[in-house]
Amino acid sequence: MSFLYPVFLFALFALAIPVIIHLFNFRRFKTVYFSNVTLLKLIKKESRKKSQIKQLIILAARLLAIASLVFAFSRPFIPLNNRTTKAAQQIVAIYIDNTFSMKNVNEKGQLLEQAKLKAIEIANSYRSGTQYLILTSDLLPQHQFLLNKEQFNQQITEIKESTRSPKFSEIYAQVIRSISGTTKKADKVFYFISDFQKNGIDFETIKTDSAVWTYLLPFNSDKTNNLIIDSCWFEVPGRKIGQQEKLFVRLKNLSEQAYQNIPVRLTINDSLRAISNISITGQQESIVELNYTNNKEGIQLCKVELDDYPIIYDNSYFLSYHVRGQMKALGIFNPLNNSSGYLKALFAGDELVAYDEFPENNVQIAQLKNYQCIFMINNQKISSGLKSELVSFVEQGGSLVLFPNRTNNFDDYNALLAGLNGNTVTSIDTASMGISEINYAHALYKEVFKKQEANADLPVAHGFLRFSEQIQKIETPLLKFRNGKNALSTHRFGNGNVYSFAFPIDKSNFNFIRHVVFVPTVYNMVLNSEEPQKYAYSIDVDEPVILNQNQLPEELNLINLQTKEEFKVSARNSGTGHKQLNLSDLIDGAGHYLIKDGDKTIQSGSYNFARKESVPEFYTTENIQDQIKDNNLKQIQLITATEEQFSEILQDLNNGKQLWKLFIALAIFFLMCEIAVIRFWK
């Protein structure tokens, strides 16, 4: 037992007053003479004993009554959770979970509104002068300052749902940082109000602060049916004009209810382009295929959506990409072994690919950045300046195709391969070797051939190179010889691709040039040379936006196409020669955003809400109690109470189990006992 005002205990010295009165009772007795006092002596002895017992009982009642009053004025209480002291100053931090899952409802209404009312009730239970700290899932800077009760209540009413979903450990750490600088003598309490969705609760990472007591207030929602669009992706990389697109959409049914004939719609630039009806059983997922054709250049703003209530934020998925008009390819050839005519004939008059060429001794290096794919054709000499530019070209997202020359001097060729982190040439074999295997799973050959024959009639290469086979340099085989060696392989370098042939393209290998495999191989190398695009971003992930252009100013404009708001954003150089933006602080809603340099649109970015808030998995009160016990969180307590009990529990939490009423009752009881003894004991 502890006392809120222990100084009143000095009043216990008042107990000496009735004791002194009892011991020094100076009443005078009158002497009466009798002839025979034997009988009177017996009566006197008996009366004196009864009188002494009566006086002792009265004294005890008075002492107990006075002691009870003294204890009552000292405000005794039994502290909860080993809180043995109560400071004069109190700091109360309250976190209100305003993630999307708190928009769920139960019989009393929406959880978020209930949480806000509960926070106000908690604040009102504390005495005047208490300071408050409010936190939400947004972790806003203005929520790091202490408030009085009026300011606190005002900010509570302004809380809206948040796109962020921080972990419990993040919130707890923020509370500790915010109140650690306050006076050490303050009584610090933290209330965590949430629905305790499992993806946001991480008890195992919490390191409690002994100076802060934490109380958990869970809210439970009714079961709600929910069908969500989880993710979208394309069948093949690279978006090209005239290309038949297959967009796959993953749907998840997070409820027990089955859905029948739900339409899934795809709109591009506000025009309906595809629609498909799906049926899905409870607790299952389904993948829908949406087909359409890219018939327009430029930025394509896509939105996949369905209709499902009452949870609607996960009914849409935004993505965007850029469709190029005509791809540009360049051939750098050896004048002494010029075979660029085969490529020129392939791309002549092509609507999708424009082909140019330079001799290796007259390359306009400054023009290389204008191409998406470069073919090195049987080169004898590669200057150091050209090697450096080619490495930079691939690193920034271009595709480089290497056709080797028939020579025993591969120094320049190997220097280029080494700069691209590829396997180098060790020797040349003049024998003929047939190609026996095609990697049909790769983007170059996927859906090119109607049948994937194991023993197809494939071309023969007359003379081929042998490469080093270093384990740390990972290459993907595209064509293989009968001896198991790579006839054509590819590997990533930076943001681009390197394709390495093991044989030259010349008259001796005309067998390969006229074969049906030649056209899709070379043509798709160009079509797949587009720089990688990020189709969609998640709002809760702090991910920079990489711009595919380098010659940009340091400041650009960001336009929210949903609200038409415009912001200034800074662009900085990235390690790959690109510009990058960090937009995490400016994105507050799902949808499409445009990045502009003045009136010129540079790139698009599409953002979606995180889907983890859609998963209906919550901790029960039993689970929370087990987690607290298992992780030995002695400073954390779960509050489970009905609406009628909550105010009483708050009082106990604030002031401990109050005993002053009990001592007032005891004082009255002892006074009544004294009166009864005096009145009825004759």
For residue 401, is pLDDT > 70?
yes
For the four alpha carbons of 58, 61, 62 and 63, in that order, the dihedral sign comes to positive
Task: Give me the DSSP letters along 276-313.
Answer: EEEEE-TT-EEEEEEEEE--S-EEEEEEEE---SS--T
Q: What share of the chain is helix, strand, coil (3-state, %, to 5)?
A: 30, 30, 40
- Give the C-alpha distances (Å, rounded to integers) separating 584 from 301, 438, 569: 20, 44, 11
Q: Is pLDDT above 90 for 587?
A: no
Question: What is the rounded average pLDDT of the residues 308-331?
Answer: 90
Q: Which two structure tokens, joined as six digits, stand for 453?
A: 């024959």
Task: Give the pair of three-digit tokens for residue 631.
Answer: 């992780």
Residue 408 pLDDT level (bands cut at 50, 70, 90): confident
Task: Tell which residue, 293, 292, 260, 291, has the closest CA to residue 277.
Answer: 260
Residue 43 pLDDT > 80: no
Domains 90-223+616-655 and 537-608 share a fold: no
- Banded pLDDT at 247 (limits 50, 70, 90): very high
Backbone φ and ψ of 173, nearest 5°: -65, -40
Model pTM? 0.71
Q: Are the CB atoms for 259 and 280 separated by under 8 Å?
A: yes
Lowest-pLDDT range of 247-251, 319-323, 431-435, 541-545: 541-545
Place 50 in a pLDDT band, splitting at 50, 70 and 90: low
| Cβ-contact 291, 305 below 8 angstroms | no
Class of CATH domain 90-223+616-655: alpha beta
Q: Is the pLDDT of residue 387 over 90?
A: yes
Q: What is the mean pLDDT of residues 437-443?
A: 89
Query: Kindly report the CA angle at 207 between 201 and 213, in degrees rounded to 5?
Result: 85
Residue 673: the pLDDT is 85
Lowest mean pLDDT of 19-28, 61-70, 335-344, name the range: 19-28
Q: Which amino acid is at 510?
A: F
CB 87 within 8 A of CB 159: no
Q: Which fold, 327-527?
A: Rossmann fold (3.40.50)
Q: Quick one: tokens of 159?
A: 């809380």
Take residue 145 and report the two structure tokens written for it: 């300052």
Average pLDDT, the chain: 85
For the chain, give every domain's residue range: 2-79+660-680, 90-223+616-655, 327-527, 537-608
Residue 192 in this model has a pLDDT that exceeds 90: yes
> Of the ranges 19-28, 78-87, 136-145, 476-485, which one carries the lowest mean pLDDT score?
78-87
How many other C-beta atoms can be found within 10 angstroms of the C-beta atom of residue 620? 11
CATH, domain 537-608, list 1.10.1760, 3.40.50, 3.30.70, 2.60.40: 2.60.40
Give the pLDDT of residue 79.
64
C-alpha to C-alpha distance for 114 and 110, rounded to whole angstroms? 6
Helix or strand holding residue 173 (H, E): helix 168-180
Query: Which residue, chain included where needed, has tokens 């001799």?
Result: 359
* Count of Cβ atoms closer than 10 Å to residue 467 Cβ: 21
Better pLDDT: 655 or 666: 666
